[in-house]
Amino acid sequence: MAKKFRNKYRIESHRMPFWNYAGNGIYYITFVTQNRELILGNISEGRIILSDFGKIVDEQWHLSFQIRNELFLDEYVIMPNHLHAIVVLKKMMETQSQSQSQSQSHVETHGRASLHIVNDINPTNPVVRKPKSLSSFMAGFKSVVNTKIDDYIDLHHLNIPKYNRNNHFFQPNYYDHIIRNSYAYKRIKKYIINNPIKWEQDRFNNNDK
């Protein structure tokens, strides 16, 4: 829901209150192109055929995980105007004593990471991004995509607006959901895999709008 801030409407954060997004966990994330534009590709016979922009997004998506030791990519799919993924955030430098002290607050998942809840809200500046957190990863990825696509626009002399802080390629916000058990993991993984097949019924499909 949009609320007013300094007489301007802003989108409410989809982040879960009191959740430590810099801690270990398994996340289902979705992010969408600005205005839900169908610019990442098209669906043909239940498969995604990536556009040139979609190929840039795909390449930078994989590179983003290669340069981060704490993040692992599980399942994902690029759709014509959005991307679904299961991402594992696993801090490799966590000591054994730290793990043991937190064990009482962990919720076991399907075996690749554990979850815990910590009140780390900063009331004076709630939008500060922690290093090696999900939000810092997403911000970095989107920034790189903007740059790479702008380079493509320049290289091919495309007569379209370039992307910047006022003209985002992806919507500034993103959706996330904490995967808490193996049942949820399997259900979400199946949904991601079958997403191209069910494109006609997809809520992000704005072909008729």
pLDDT in tens, the chain (209 residues): 444 444 444 445 556 666 676 667 899 999 999 999 999 999 999 999 999 999 999 999 999 999 988 889 999 999 999 999 999 988 644 433 344 344 333 322 222 333 332 222 233 333 344 557 888 899 999 999 999 999 999 999 999 999 987 889 999 889 998 998 889 999 999 999 999 999 998 889 876 54
Q: What is the pLDDT of residue 24?
A: 78
Write the CATH number of the domain with boundaries 16-198.
3.30.70.1290
The reply to whether the predicted model has a pTM over 0.85 is: no
Q: What is the pLDDT of residue 3?
A: 45
Q: What is the pLDDT of residue 153?
A: 95
Q: What is the pLDDT of residue 102?
A: 40
Q: What is the pLDDT of residue 165?
A: 79
Q: What is the pLDDT of residue 93?
A: 42
Domain ranges of the chain: 16-198
Token pair 């043991």 is found at: 100
Note whether 113 and 88 are within 8 A (CB): yes
Q: How far apart are CA 126 and CA 198, in angstroms?
A: 37
Q: What is the pLDDT of residue 95?
A: 36
β-strand partners of 178: 27
Helix, strand, coil shares of the chain, percent, nearest 5, are 30, 25, 45
Helix H, strand E, coil C: the string for 40-77 is CEEEECCEEEECHHHHHHHHHHHHHHHCCCCEEEEEEE
| C-alpha triplet 204, 184, 135: angle, nearest 5° | 60
